[in-house]
Structure formats: structure tokens, C-alpha cells
Structure 1
């Protein structure tokens, strides 16, 4: 449902345990404050920060760098469009950059949030124009970006109409009142009734 949203920041690196940036462009909140605001422990935040600092020494990541980092996980395909959608979901204040705080707040929801929290975050990812509903074109853009990202694992065996077929299946299941759009209420209700979706979301529990 949300492929590899925690990217490479979960890896351990042999860097210092301090919470300082060698090149300070953005100084994060204190560990204590972030621990209060997220569902991570201080040790987990330190692990996350090591990876973030390693990839983003200035303390923030812009969209192009985000795409470059994300592409390392999917060298077999083109992850740029999906990374664009994901970047916009993490960039909650819409300033064109993702700080460590932005990253851990989003990650806290994805990995440790309630089912409703996670589903709301996923809905926001799919609702590309942020108008409160998901259209077939928005879902198609998301599906297409995922297939492009998977690259050789789906092409050339995948036919061009497969993403569209998945969108039709999605809407048949979730568009309860058949008005051509999926609202947050329809999305959450349908996901909670789908055993596969619920199981996939539980895979992220305690991943760090």
C-alpha cells in the first residue's frame, strides 16, 4: 500500500551519537521534544537521525535529492513520480523541503499510528489535489507511478491497461455511493473491511 516509505534512514551508520549538524542549515528540535511529539523513543530517533544526517547534512532535503535517495531502492524502474507524490505527503507545510521533523512526524504515523492515523495519511497521499476526495485519475496516476517504479518486475509482462484495471477494481470496492469519487469515509471504511490491507499495514509495526 505504501512501498518502502521509510527509505534508507533506518540503517545504522558508524557516525557520532551527538545531535549536532556539521553544516547547519536547519537545526532540528531537541530529542526530548521529538520524543514527546512522536511515538519513537530517544534511541530510535537517534538511529533515524544518523541516517538522515548522513544523506542530508544540511538538515533538510529538497524534492530532487529526495528522488535521488528514493531511486536507490528501485534501480530497476523509474521511481521519480512516486517519489514526487511521497515528497508532497511528507512536506506538510508545503515549503518545498522536508526537514527531519517532517520526516519523523510522517514516519511516526506510518509506523506507529493508529489504523485511522495510517489510513488518513495514505488517503492524503492519494488525494493529489487535496480536495478531500480521490478521483479515478488521481488513483491512476498513483498506480502508474508504482508500476513505473517497479520497472522490470512488472514490465514487459504487464499490459498497459493493468493500472487502469486496478483503478476500476479500487473504485468498485471503495466508491460506495457510486458518485465517481472516493471520500475519506469511504476509504477508511473499505480499507478496514479488507483483510489484505489490514495485514499489510501491520507489517510496519515495530519495524525499527
Structure 2
């Protein structure tokens, strides 16, 4: 049981929580068969059962909309405002016009980000920052996302950040031109991968499920 709890803590770290059960999301939706989910993700049957148990506890209907996702996500960052960052994360999961996430969709994204290759993790990060979905990250898009991260972290940053948006702009000003290899004012997925591949610390952070650039 202790080992299972440790696995849940590892899975929950992907999106900022302490356990996958707590991150689990809040008519009724019946998920696919366990064997199918295990075949389509990198989780074992036992892990999926544990994650689903938490999912159902927070979301009895089996589906979650953005507002419910924000409420759940914000529980882990009471020291700041996590609503905007949660909005960006939710958009990387949402695929249907209904605007709701099923357990299968949640599990698929979690599998890629926590157990996927470095390339898959970087693709998820790129999608997080590419707010308009045009295949490019502009400086303003990066500023919006980084700003939401500073807002979310609140007083837990060291040293404590008094003006999150100013700190976000300084951070983006410092790294954007380094990522934009051809200096055309936007970052492509290839430029992101190239920049990240040179940063050993960031690559190590991907292994520990820390997906904040």
C-alpha cells in the first residue's frame, strides 16, 4: 500500500498536485475497459484503478468541465491564483466541443506527460504555450503563460515575487531570444526542442515531471 501511495504522488506531480487521487477530476460517463486503458497508456492496471478511484471521488459523473478543473487545481496552490494556469492546462486536454474531459482523456495526457519520451513531454509543453494553436509560440503567448505560473506560485517563490507580471516579463525577455534561433519573433517546436536539449537541468526536470520552463 505504501508503494501504491508513492506511485500516486509521482503521478499527481505532473499537474502540480501532491497525489493523482487529489488531482482526479469533478450525465454520467462510463470509462473504457481497464484492459483497453492499460494497452493505450503507460500505466499498469493497478495504477489505473488507483487513479480512477480518486477521479470518481472528485467527479462522480465521470466528466469535468473547466470550472470544476480550476477548483480542483487551485486546491494545491492556495498561496496564489492558479485559475489562469489551470485554464491553459485544461486547454491542452480538452478536445471535444462540449468542453468537458473524460477519464480516458485525462489518463492519456497524464500518461504522455509523466511516462512519455522527452519529445512527447516537450510537445505537451509546446501545446501549453501555443495558446492560439497556430504551431508557433509568440513572445506574448509565452509571457501570458509564464505570468500565470508566477501568479500561481504566489508567495512560495524564492525570493518572494512582489510583482508577478514584471518578473514574468523579465524571465521571458531573458530566454525568448535564446529560444528563437532564427530571430523571426516566434518559437517553433523544433526551436523549443533544440533549446531544451542543451539544458541538462531542464532535461532532468522533465524526468521528475517538472514541466515548468
Instruction: Provide the TM-score with structure 1 as the length reference.
Output: 0.86
**Counterpart Cα distance in 2 of 1:36 and 1:95:** 26
- The answer as to 2:129 corresponding to 1:143 is no
**Aligned residues: CA RMSD:** 1.9
Deviates more, 1:89-98 or 1:183-192: 89-98
> C-alpha displacement at 1:157, in angstroms?
3.7
TM-aligned CA deviation for residue 195 of structure 1: 1.0
* 1:161 positional shift: 2.1
Which of 7, 15, 20 aligns to 2:17? It is 7
- TM alignment of 1:77-96, pairs within 5 A: 77-96=80-99
Unaligned 5+ segments in structure 1 are: 13-23
What stretches of structure 2 of length at least 5 have no aligned partner?
1-12
Q: CA distance change for structure 1 residues 88 and 105 in 2, over 3 Å: closer, same or farther?
A: same
The Cα of 1:196 is off from its aligned counterpart by 1.4
Counterparts of residues 34-73 of structure 1 (less than 5 Å): 34-73=37-76
Counterpart Cα distance in 2 of 1:33 and 1:88: 25
TM-score, normalization by structure 2: 0.84
Kindly tell me the number of residue pairs found equivalent between the two proteins.
192
- Secondary structure of 1:53 counterpart: helix
1:204 lines up with 2:209 in the alignment: yes
Q: Distance in 2 between matches of 1:6 and 1:46?
A: 21
Considering Cα pairs closer than 8 Å and 6+ residues apart, tell me whether 1 or 2 has the greater RCO: 1
1:94 Cα deviation after fit:
4.6
Per-residue deviation at 1:156?
4.9
Structural mapping, 1:71-150, within 5 Å: 71-150=74-153
The 5-angstrom pairing of residues 139-178 of structure 1 reads 139-154=142-157, 156-158=161-163, 160-178=165-183
Partner of 1:183: 188
